[in-house]
Every structure is written in structure tokens, then in C-alpha cells.
């Protein structure tokens, strides 16, 4: 059972907090590339780990990420002018390059620009995503080249939505696979609902899920095991990559990677990233394209990019729960799988009081995650390198399958989950 101090250790992400320091060991996704589509386009606000930042694409195409507030007298650089390779504050005309160096001052006849620097963080663009590193410059980890970021752009998509609660309960909700066939259950076949369709997922509905979890150097892998018809077993193999990434199989019959990043904006808000990549060469569908452009229902999230990627379904309107739909259509009466997840996680409050929980064996992934995160904060305090900082996760893939009772599903899934290199499967 965790105490409240332990909860603070695991949840609070500001500078100087144990988890804040840990988060600053990793690259973080901050924007989709299309949000900074053109050189010299308007800057974009970024809220990350409790810091207010502003991102801009300079004339040469590079991306700067600066403290939002001008170091002169703290006007917001969001109002700034994105000029020739620099962002200029509109108050007194100080201009900063992507490294945060002041390069011009309009109000100072005897310029001291060379002595002024603002906070800036390194960025990288990989897989249609802009990433940032907020940690010490001498500890910058290898670039975050997840396997899905390396497939052709036409075969991958990324979307995001704000979740109004602490990042850890959002992460835990994603790693907890035992809710899958309950929370997301459809009560009858209905193509209009995004909940699970009973026919297609009948195998998933047959009894509870058993979890097997194996720690790795990047976090852990785990298997959700369900009994199927005729003594078969349906096993889904996932990866958890420190500190907030999940790679999950897409469901029967597809060769894709699905996954999430649960990125802390601050202690009470999380940017939930959804990504998928197709490994059979299939281009995106119209629906995918819509999601990619941030339009449409974004897999049912109903977000508006102009409103900071907030969902219209939120705590203030009870996620638009429809009680008639709950009686006949879906288990929750809330439209969309991702919204169902977000609703239950937000419903716990901004930071759940973990001292009041009553956990069981099916919460194994949740418990393991907390233990890994706690260990990682402690490792950092001892000047050790936390799990997942080194690039041991590049080639990971999720995998799943239906197996006969006596089949060695573990060996088969491991081969599919580590397709590019041999690994010590017992670590």
C-alpha cells in the first residue's frame, strides 16, 4: 500500500520533484509536426512538466523551444513575431534564436544582447512528432526512434487529446488490461458504436484476464491471457517503455502497432498521445487522415486543435454520458473507447489518493509500474541511469495470437515482439 508521500514521489512532475527529475531524463513528444508546418509560421504554446514554453519553426526549418516568458520583463513570446531565424518579443523587440540567445534589442541603443540568454531546450523531429529534452545537456539520451516512427509517413498516424488528471492515473489506466472487455464492452453489434463489437471480440469476453509480467531493461513486457473457445488461449503481448509509453497489439487480424504516450503537462493535466503504424503497406484511411489533421471526431475524442486539444467530453459535463445508450448499446453509455478510458480515469479526481485503493492480483501491471517508477527515481538520486534512458526499445513490437492449450505461445510471441535482434528473454 502506498502512502501519500510515495504518491507525491510518483505523481508530481515540477522541476526539483523526484518524478520531475526522472521525466527530465527522457525525450518527450511535444507537438505534431503539422502544428509547426511552415518556417516562420506563428509560434505555438507548449505546457510540459509544469513549464510554460513556446515553440517556433525558424526560417531554416529548425525548431526552437523557449521559456514562454521573455527574460526582459516577462511578456509572453507567444505574442511574438517569428522573424528571420528568431522569435522577437513584441513588447520591446528583443529577438531570440532557437538556442535561446538574444540576437537583437530594439529598445537598447547600446545593445547587450550577447549577454542575454533565455531558457531553451533541444528539439528533434522524428516520425511526424516534435520531441524535446528538458534535462541536463551532458545527459541527453539517444533520439527516441521507436520502430513505428521509422515506417513511411503514409502508413502512420498520431493524434492527441488533453486529459484532465495526473499523468500516472492515465498511464495506469492504459496498462491495466483487465478492464478491456468490461469498460469497453458493447451490449450488441452496432457499427455506430466504438465499443467492442461482441461478435468480433467474443473471445475477449470469455472470462477474466490473467496477466504475466516480465521486467526488462526498458521497463517490462506483459501478456494478457484469456481463455477462448475450444480450449484455445488468446494472448496479447504488450511493452511498457519507461517512463510513459505503451506499445499494444491492434486486435485480431491486423499487422499494426498501436500505442500511447501519457505525457505530463503539469501535475493535473496530461497530453495523451495516440499513435498507430501499419506494417502491411496500407495507406491511411480517410478516417485516419481526418485524425491526423486534428479534424473529425479524432477516434471519438471530439477534440479541437484550436482549443488546445481539449475534448468536448470532459468532467464538467459528465463526459456526455447517455443513460439510454448505457442500457442497450455500450457498458458505459459513453461514446468511444478512448473517451471511456479518459472518463473513468478523470472521474477519480485530479490526483487519485492511492492510500485508499484496494488492489488485487489483476492490478499486477499497475503495481509493477509504480515499483519501476519508484526505483527509477531512487536510481537517479544515486546518480545511476534509470531504465529506458538508453536506446534499448527501438525495435520493439507488440504481438498477439490465438493458441492451442499446449502450444508454446510465449516463445512465439517473444519472437514476434523482438523481431530484429536476439534478446535475453529472462532478464
Tell me how far, at minimum, the Cβ of 88 lies from ligand FES, in Å: 8
Q: Which CB sits closer to ligand FES, 92 or 423?
A: 92
**Taking the complex as a whole, how short is the minimal distance between the CB of residue 92 and ligand FES, in angstroms?**
3
Q: Which of 329, 341, 346, 363 binds Fe ion (CB under 5 A)?
A: 341
Q: Are 216 and 425 in contact (CB under 8 A)?
A: no
CB of 98 to Fe ion, least distance (A): 38
C-alpha angle 259-263-265 in degrees, rounded to nearest 5: 155
278 near Fe ion (CB under 5 A): no
Residue 267 in the binding site for Fe ion (CB under 5 A): no
- Which lies closer to ligand FES via its Cβ, residue 79 or residue 391? 79
Q: Binding string to ligand FES for residues 76 to 115, with x set by CB under 6 A, is what?
A: -------------x-xx-x---------------------
Q: Is 346 a binder of Fe ion (CB under 5 A)?
A: no
Distances (CA, A) of 301 to 256, 266, 390: 21, 21, 33
**Helices (H) then strands (E): counts for the chain:** 9, 20
Kindly state the number of chain residues that form the binding site for ligand FES, as judged by CB under 6 A: 8
Distance (Å, whole) CA 138 – CA 149: 25
Which of ligand FES, Fe ion, none does residue 45 bind to, with CB < 5 to 8 Å depending on kind?
none
Q: Which is nearer to ligand FES, 51 or 67 (CB)?
A: 67
C-beta neighbour count of 52 within 10 angstroms: 15
- What does 410 interact with, of ligand FES, Fe ion, none (CB < 5 to 8 A by kind)? none
- What mask of x and - would describe binding to Fe ion in positions 290 to 329, judged by CB under 5 A? ----------------------------------------
Q: Would you say 425 and 396 are in contact if contact means Cβ atoms under 8 Å apart? A: no
Closest contact distance (angstroms) between CB of 400 and Fe ion is 16
Cβ-contact 106, 94 below 8 angstroms: yes
Nearest to 367 by CA among 166, 208, 242, 213: 213
Q: Looking at beta carbons only, is 336 or 386 nearer to Fe ion? A: 336
Q: Does 139 help bind ligand FES (rule: CB under 6 A)? A: no
For residues 186-219, one letter each, b for 16 or more C-beta atoms within 10 angstroms of the residue's C-beta and e for the rest, the string is beeeeeebbbbeeeebebbeeeebbbebebbebb
Q: Which residue has the cell 540567445?
A: 101
C-beta of 94: minimal distance to ligand FES in Å?
Answer: 4
Minimum CB distance to Fe ion, residue 222 (Å): 15
Tally the residues of the chain. Answer: 427
- Give the residue with the Cβ less far from ligand FES, 80 or 398: 80
Name the region of 100 (left: φ>0; alpha: ψ -120 to 50; beta: rest): left
Grid coordinates given for 258: 498501436
Tell me, residue by residue from 53 to 72, as one string, x for binding to ligand FES by CB under 6 A and - for no binding: -----------------x-x
3-state secondary structure of 379: helix
106 close to 72: Cβ distance less than 8 angstroms: no
Nearer Cβ to Fe ion, position 128 or 198? 198
Nearer to Fe ion, 22 or 204 (CB): 204
Closest CA relative to residue 313, chosen from 345, 283, 288, 281: 345
d(CA 364, CA 170): 16
Residue 341 binds which of ligand FES, Fe ion, none (CB < 5-8 A, kind-dependent): Fe ion
Angle of the 4-11 helix axis to the 167-175 helix axis, nearest 10? 90
- Measured from the CB atom, is 176 or 278 closer to Fe ion? 176
Q: Per DSSP, what are the bridge partners of residue 5?
A: none
Name which of residues 22 to 81 contact Fe ion (CB under 5 A): none
Q: Is 45 in the site for ligand FES (CB under 6 A)?
A: no
**Secondary structure letter of residue 117 according to DSSP:** B
The item of ligand FES, Fe ion, none sharing an interface with residue 293, based on CB under 5 to 8 Å by kind, is: none
Applying CB under 6 A, which residues contact ligand FES?
70, 72-73, 75, 89, 91-92, 94
Applying CB under 5 A, which residues contact Fe ion?
341
Amino acid at each position: 500500500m502506498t502512502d501519500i508521500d510515495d504518491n507525491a514521489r510518483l505523481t508530481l512532475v515540477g522541476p526539483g520533484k523526484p518524478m520531475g527529475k526522472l521525466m527530465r531524463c527522457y525525450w518527450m513528444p511535444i507537438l505534431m509536426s503539422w502544428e509547426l508546418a511552415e518556417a516562420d509560421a506563428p509560434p505555438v504554446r507548449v505546457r510540459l512538466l509544469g513549464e510554460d514554453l513556446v515553440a517556433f519553426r525558424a526560417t531554416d526549418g529548425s525548431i526552437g523551444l523557449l521559456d514562454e516568458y521573455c527574460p526582459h520583463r516577462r511578456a509572453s513570446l507567444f505574442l511574438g513575431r517569428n522573424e528571420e531565424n528568431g522569435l522577437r518579443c513584441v513588447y520591446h523587440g528583443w529577438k531570440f534564436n532557437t538556442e535561446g540567445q538574444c540576437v537583437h534589442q530594439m529598445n537598447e541603443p547600446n545593445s547587450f544582447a550577447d549577454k542575454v540568454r533565455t531558457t531553451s531546450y533541444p528539439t528533434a523531429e522524428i516520425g511526424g512528432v516534435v520531441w524535446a529534452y528538458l534535462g541536463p545537456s551532458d545527459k541527453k539520451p539517444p533520439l527516441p526512434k521507436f520502430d513505428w516512427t521509422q515506417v513511411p509517413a503514409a502508413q502512420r498516424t498520431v493524434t492527441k487529446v488533453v486529459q484532465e488528471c495526473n499523468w500516472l492515473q492515465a498511464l495506469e489506466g492504459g496498462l491495466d488490461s483487465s478492464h478491456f472487455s468490461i469498460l469497453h464492452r458493447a451490449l450488441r453489434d452496432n457499427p455506430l458504436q466504438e465499443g467492442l463489437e461482441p461478435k468480433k471480440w467474443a473471445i475477449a469476453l470469455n472470462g477474466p484476464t490473467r496477466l504475466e509480467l516480465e521486467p526488462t531493461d526498458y521497463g517490462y513486457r506483459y501478456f494478457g491471457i484469456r481463455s477462448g473457445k475450444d480450449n484455445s488461449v488468446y494472448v496479447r503481448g504488450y511493452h511498457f517503455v519507461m517512463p510513459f509509453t505503451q506499445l499494444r497489439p491492434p486486435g485480431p487480424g491486423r499487422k499494426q502497432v498501436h500505442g500511447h504516450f501519457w505525457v505530463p503537462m503539469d501535475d493535473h493535466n496530461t497530453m495523451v498521445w495516440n499513435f498507430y503504424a501499419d506494417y502491411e503497406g496500407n495507406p491511411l484511411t480517410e478516417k485516419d487522415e481526418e485524425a491526423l489533421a486534428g479534424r473529425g471526431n479524432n477516434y471519438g475524442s471530439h477534440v479541437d486543435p484550436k482549443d488546445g486539444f481539449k475534448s468536448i467530453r470532459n468532467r464538467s459535463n459528465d463526459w456526455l454520458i447517455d443513460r439510454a445508450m448505457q442500457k442497450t448499446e455500450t457498458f458505459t453509455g459513453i461514446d468511444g473507447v478512448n473517451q471511456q478510458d479518459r472518463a473513468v480515469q478523470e472521474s477519480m479526481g485530479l490526483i487519485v489518493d492511492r492510500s485508499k485503493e484496494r488492489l488485487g492480483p489483476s492490478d499486477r501491471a499497475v503495481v509493477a509500474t509504480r515499483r519501476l517508477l519508484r526505483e527509477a527515481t531512487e536510481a537517479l538520486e544515486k546518480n545511476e541511469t534509470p531504465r529506458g534512458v538508453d536506446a534499448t526499445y527501438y525495435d520493439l513490437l507488440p504481438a498477439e495470437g490465438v493458441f492451442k492449450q499446449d502450444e508454446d505461445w510465449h516463445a512465439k510471441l517473444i519472437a514476434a515482439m523482438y523481431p530484429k535482434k536476439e534478446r535475453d528473454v529472462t532478464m
